[in-house]
Amino acid sequence: MSEVCLREGETQDSLLRRFQKMVQMSGILREAKAHRHFVSKRDAAQIKAKNNARRRRRQRQPYTGVRRSVEINLTKEVGANIYVGNLSQGVTEEELRQLFMQFGQVVSVSIIKDKYSGQSRGFGFVEMPAKSEGEAAIAGLKGKTLQDRTIDVSEARPRSYSQGGGSRGGGRY
């Protein structure tokens, strides 16, 4: 603790006002008013940390307001995502696009390639804007041949994000 002496001609009230001004500048007025004494820099830092901790605790209170649900309009027709399998290595995305354009508009075509070699993995996906066009393309192209291979056409299933595969190995305990 540091001590402060009265100046010549100074009353205790003016000393208290001077003290409050000093404390207010350092940001610890609340704590200092309760103790009515001067605080060292180390003590001031501890008091400031306590006040900040209290403030953080108050901010972490759980939300108690009214929760509102959100409605999503699903009446819009969803497009068709089509899986095309058993593709030849030489098939290009443009050839696949031309094949599916016989049945309607094609939004996108992607042939899946190996990330290291860059060669086709033998399957791809075609996206069509209307589900009815996609169903017509599936029915019309199932069993067709493309570059001496019979292609497998079906509706693409959503990707499953499964985790892990169990334990590996296992020692004695």
Residue 86 in domain: yes
Q: Are residues 85 and 130 in the same domain?
A: yes
Per-residue pLDDT band at 71 (split at 50, 70, 90): low
Strand-pair partners of 85? 123, 152
Give the residue-averaged pLDDT of 100-118. Answer: 92
Q: Are residues 51 and 95 in the same domain?
A: no
For β-strands 120-128 and 108-113, DSSP reports them as antiparallel
Residue 9: pLDDT band (50, 70, 90) is: confident
CA 97, 101, 103: angle at the middle one, nearest 5?
135
**Domain housing 122:** 80-155
Q: What is the pLDDT at residue 30?
A: 55
When divided into structural domains, the chain yields a total of: 2
Position 170 in a domain: no
pTM score of the predicted model: 0.50
- Taking only the tens place, the pLDDT of each residue in 15-70 is 778 777 776 666 655 555 555 555 666 777 787 888 888 777 766 666 666 555 55
